[in-house]
Amino acid sequence: MATVAPVEKIDIGRAIGRGFEALRAHFFPFVAVAALLAGAPAFFMQYWMLTGVATADIDYILSLAYWGPILGSLLATMVAGALLQGVLVRSTILTLSGREADLSHSVALALRLVIPIVAASIVVGVLIGIGFLFLIVPGIMIYCAFIVTIPALVEERRGIFGSMRRSRDLTRGSRKRIFVLLVVFWVFQVIITTVLNAIAGISPMGTYGAELPDPILAGTVAAIGAGLSWVIVTVVTAALYIELRTVKEGATTDDLAAIFA
According to the model, what pLDDT value does residue 261 have? 54
**What torsion, rounded to 10 degrees, do the Cα atoms 17, 22, 28, 33 define?**
-110
> Is 223:196 a contact under the CB 8 Å cutoff?
no
Please list, residue by residue across 16-30, b when 16 or more beta carbons sit within 10 angstroms of its beta carbon and e when fewer do. Answer: bebbeebbeebeeeb
DSSP characters over 161-190: HHHHHHHHHHHTT-HHHHHHHHHHHHHHHH
> Is 121:102 a contact under the CB 8 Å cutoff?
no
In a domain, 129, yes or no: yes
According to the model, what pLDDT value does residue 175 have? 93
According to the model, what pLDDT value does residue 3 have? 38
In a domain, 34, yes or no: yes
> Is 69:41 a contact under the CB 8 Å cutoff?
no
In a domain, 7, yes or no: no
In a domain, 78, yes or no: yes
Beta-bridged to residue 208, according to DSSP, are 202
In a domain, 68, yes or no: yes
Containing domain of residue 135, as a range?
12-19+27-258
Q: Where are the alpha helices (DSSP H) in 55-102?
A: 58-61, 64-96
Domain total of the chain = 1
In a domain, 5, yes or no: no
> Is 175:141 a contact under the CB 8 Å cutoff?
yes
> Is 10:177 a contact under the CB 8 Å cutoff?
yes
In a domain, 1, yes or no: no
What's the pTM value of the predicted model, to 2 decimals? 0.85
Helix (H, G, I), strand (E, B) or coil at 128: helix
In a domain, 6, yes or no: no
For the chain, list residues with pLDDT below 70: 1-8, 54-57, 201-211, 251-261
According to the model, what pLDDT value does residue 127 have? 95
Beta-bridged to residue 202, according to DSSP, are 208
